[in-house]
Amino acid sequence: MSNPSQTTEVQDFEPRIVAFLCKWCSSAGSDLAGVSRIQYSANATPITIPCSGSVSPMYILSAFNKGADGVLISGCHPGDCHYMEGNYLARRKLYLVKELLQFIGLESDRFRMSWVSAAEGAKFAEVVDEFVEDLRVLGPQNRLKAER
């Protein structure tokens, strides 16, 4: 990061994030951030899904393949899942996805998971902002991105 040209690139670079938000907690939490007018980076585009447990690993691989610089999956805190268990299933599955992506050398900061409840508008904003900052440091995601 000592290279000055790289630094400029970092500042100009706007990461593109696909954010999968469960309908009941995290999407509601992002709604609360809106109602509370908490300002945060516009880099994450939300896709509302029923439950973090419904996330297929394909969604993550596909987003990276299509050029996402980061993928965020956010669900209800353990014990709070609207569907009781979905987030526990998500946690186990996505732990393995994370380990696999790291194993083949995708930068570990590119895939993130968070628990954001319907009451945590501020946390949602923080999660997005932190993610964007971490991705700015990494620069564009080229490792899994399709050349097309």
Partner 1 sequence: MVNVEEIRDYAAGLLEKGEVKSVLGFRRGSASAFAEPCTITNVGEAASLVWDPTCLNNLALYLVKDRKQQAVSKTPDTRPVGIVAKGCDSRAIGVLLQENYFKREDVVVIGVSCEGTGVVDPRKLSAKLKGRTASRVTFAVQGSTSVAGGRTPGATDGADGINVSVYGDETETVIPAREVLADRCLECRAAAPALNDVVFGNTVEARDFNEPFHAAKEAERLSEDERWATWERHFDRCLRCFACRAVCPMCYCPECVVDSTTFVVTLGTSAEEKANRIRWCERSANTSESAVYHLTRAIHLAGRCIDCGECERVCPVNIPLRLLNTKLEKEAFEMFEYQAGHDIEQASLLSSFRDEDPNSFIR
Partner 2 sequence: MTKRTGVFVCHCGKNIAATVDVKKVAQELAKDDGVVFSEDYVYMCSDPGQTAVIDAIKDNNLNGMVISCCSPTLHEKTFRDASELGDLNAFQCEIANIREQCAWVHKDMEVATEKALKITRASVRRVQHNQALEPIGVPVTRRAMVVGAGIAGIQAALDLTDAGLDVVLVEKQATIGGNMLKLSETFPTLDCSQCILSPKMVSVSKNSKITLMTESEVESISGFVGNFKVKIKKKAEFVDPELCKLCDDCTPVCPVAVPNEYDVGLTNRRAIHIPFAQAIPASFTLDEEACLGLNPVVCGKCEEVCDVGAIDYDKKPTVTEEDIGAIIVSTGFDLYGMEHMGEFGGGRYPDVLDGLQFERLCSASGATEGHIMRPSDHKVPKEIVFIQCSGSRDPENHCAYCSKICCMYTAKHATLYKHHVPDGQAYIFYIDIRSGGKGYEEFVQRSMENDGVIYLRGRVSRVYEKDGKLRVMGVDTLAGRNVEIDADMVVLAQAMEPSKGTAEIAKILKIARDKDGFLAEAHPKLKPVESVTAGIYLAGAAQGPKDIPETVSQAGAAASKVIALLSKDQLAHSPMVAKVRDPYCTGCEMCVDACPYDAITLVDGKASVNEVLCEGCGSCVGVCVRAAIDVKNVTQLQIHEMISAIMA
Strand pairing of 44-49 and 70-75?
unpaired
Binding residues for partner 1, total number by CB under 8 A: 38
Which tokens is 6 given? 């790289």
Binding string to partner 1 for residues 9 to 48, with x set by CB under 8 A, is what?
----------------------------------------
Nearest to 22 by CA among 62, 43, 60, 49: 49
Contact partner at residue 68 from partner 2, partner 1, none, CB < 5 to 8 Å by partner kind = partner 2
Binding string to partner 2 for residues 26 to 65, with x set by CB under 8 A, is what?
-xx-xxxxxx-xxxx-x--xxxxxxx-xxxx-xx--xx--
Torsion from C-alpha of 96, 94, 42, 23, nearest 10 degrees: 170
Count of other CB atoms within 10 angstroms of residue 23: 17
CA dist 11 → 30, 40, 56, 90 (Å): 26, 17, 33, 34
Binding residues for partner 2, total number by CB under 8 A: 47
Residue in this structure with the two tokens 């998500």, named with its chain if needed: 90
Residue ranges in contact with partner 2 by CB under 8 A: 16, 18, 24, 27-28, 30-35, 37-40, 42, 45-51, 53-56, 58-59, 62-63, 66-68, 79-80, 82-86, 89-90, 93, 118-119, 125
Residue ranges in contact with partner 1 by CB under 8 A: 57-58, 61-62, 65, 78, 85, 88-89, 91-93, 95-108, 112-115, 127, 130, 143-148
